Amino acid sequence: MKFFVDTGDIDEIKTLAATGMVDGVTTNPSLIAKSGRDFKEVIQQICSIVDGPVSAEVAATDYETMRKEAEVIRKWGDNIAVKVPLTEDGLRVCKELSDDGTLVNVTLCFSPAQAILAAKAGASFVSPFVGRLDDISQDGLQLISDIVRIYDNYPQFDTEVLVASIRNPLHIVESAKMGAHVMTAPPAVIRQLYKHPLTTSGLAAFVEDWKKTGQSIL
């Protein structure tokens, strides 16, 4: 499973990238707004740090304006993935960009039917939102299972399942067990993967035992 980090925080991206935990980055207007910086400047800086895909989202919702924005955004870096909404106009833009060799991330997917449309439009990634479905008492992980199963039935589909709206490590682990290709999560959730009480207590015991020896490696 590829790990994308869902943030516009440059320092967080650099720190996680140094550990090998970043295969790509996803952003959206809300995340960039939190940085208080210029949208283009942030995206270009992220592209210079990360070798993998960097998703940058269009702001428009109509075809004509989305298409114009996409033309601008895709020139910001060789590893740009233009992010478009899973709407009729968004998929039209997706088809044209994909045919032209541009990576496209189709976002706001909430049903298997929508995921089929994204694959038919040639999306590089489809982003089903697990947490937001859980929030309304629907099973977000079931959506991941359904999409992976459908895509597996059709080898001609090149679209990767990019699990989004991840709220906890269980979302990541269960999605990996289902065979999802990519997950994107906030830095804080990625760091939770490191944590286990037995690791903490075991390390503390090792440190204490080492102190008792009175030795030093350095």
Instruction: Report if residue 187 sits inside a domain.
Output: yes
Instruction: Report if residue 44 sits inside a domain.
Output: yes
Instruction: Report if residue 218 sits inside a domain.
Output: no
Q: What is the pLDDT of residues 160-194, one digit of tens each?
A: 999 999 999 999 999 999 999 999 999 999 999 99
pLDDT the model gives residue 29: 79
What is the value of pTM for the model shown?
Answer: 0.94
Instruction: Report if residue 61 sits inside a domain.
Output: yes
**What's 83's domain CATH number?**
3.20.20.70
pLDDT the model gives residue 175: 98
Instruction: Report if residue 108 sits inside a domain.
Output: yes
Whose tokens are 């199963």? That residue is 149
Instruction: Report if residue 50 sits inside a domain.
Output: yes
Which residues are the active-site residues? 83
Q: What is the pLDDT of residues 76-126, one digit of tens each?
A: 999 999 999 999 999 999 999 999 999 999 999 999 999 999 999 999 999
Number of structural domains in the chain: 1
Q: What is the pLDDT of residues 29-73, one digit of tens each?
A: 788 888 888 999 999 999 999 999 999 999 999 999 999 999 999
Mean pLDDT throughout 199-216? 96
209: domain range? 2-213
Instruction: Report if residue 157 sits inside a domain.
Output: yes
Contacts by residues 92-101 (CB-CB < 8 Å, ≥ 24 positions apart): 92/63, 92/121, 93/58, 93/63, 93/66, 93/67, 94/118, 94/121, 94/122, 94/123, 95/121, 95/122, 96/67, 97/70, 98/122, 98/123, 98/124
pLDDT the model gives residue 28: 83
